[in-house]
Amino acid sequence: TRVALLISGGGSNMVALARDMTGDHPGRAKLVLSNVPQAGGLLKASALRIPTAVVDHRDHDGRLPFEAAINAELDSARIDLICLAGFMRILTPEFTHRWAGRILNIHPSLLPKYKGLHTHRRAIEAGDTEHGASVHMVTGDLDDGPVLGQAVLSVRADDTPATLAERVLPLEHRLYPAVLRRFLAGDTTPVTIDARD
Ligand code: GRF
């Protein structure tokens, strides 16, 4: 399986996935693609010797031309599976339909709670005592596909969105590789990581 990792920023989840795959599946990570030319994750991918590509959404007049450019990069790298890892563009139903069953995403909440942005702030404001991250199949609806795994932690009384995000991110780095391994092995049992106090 030839995996592409799509990023927009620092790419810490991409690094976790690439490191885990390089472990016992030499070089399954065949491409790191960013919509942001200056994304820090591009440098990290190069350091891991993974080919990179930039498809800047600002260079394209609309979502479909943007996604056509992404697909061209994916096709030339003969990609079979997409892992969205901090990729911050909403994909059209056309794109998610084309990649149905072969595109995963990590989202920093216990889905189906808090789809969309500012998840840590929303969990704190709701007074939730638990929070975490989810890896799910990507469908046409935002943050809505079948959940393949979740990591849960306790929200602390003194947590801020920043401190909570700081504690969720390392869990993401454990969750996503574990889910990808099972997915690649055809094992659909959900991954659960319980990091509650
Ligand atoms: C993380 O909060 C992740 O949950 C979300 O994007 C943020 C940055 O991830 N998907 P990364 O460091 O770029 O992997």
Instruction: Return the percentage of the chain with pLDDT > 70, whole number.
Output: 97
Cα 9 to averaged position of ligand 1 atoms, centre (Å):
8
Other beta carbons within 10 Å of 51: 14
| Mean pLDDT of the residues in the chain | 95
Cα 89 to averaged position of ligand 1 atoms, centre (Å):
13
Stated as kind and residue range, the H or E segment containing 40 is helix 40-47
User: What is the tens place of the pLDDT at every residue in 78-108?
Assistant: 999 999 999 999 999 999 999 999 999 999 9
Residue having the nearest C-alpha atom to atom 9 of ligand 1: 86
CA distance 13 to 175: 10
Residue having the nearest C-alpha atom to atom 7 of ligand 1: 86
> What average pLDDT does the segment 34-54 reach?
97
DSSP 59: G
Partnered with residue 53 across adjacent β-strands are 33
Token pair in block for residue 74: 């994916």
Partnered with residue 191 across adjacent β-strands are 149
Cα 81 to averaged position of ligand 1 atoms, centre (Å):
19
Quote ipTM for the complex: 0.93
Give the pLDDT of residue 96: 97
List residues forming the annotated binding site for (6R)-10-formyltetrahydrofolate: 63, 88-91, 105
| Ligand 1 atom with the shortest distance to the CA of 133 | 4
> What average pLDDT does the segment 98-125 reach?
98
Residues marked as catalytic: 107
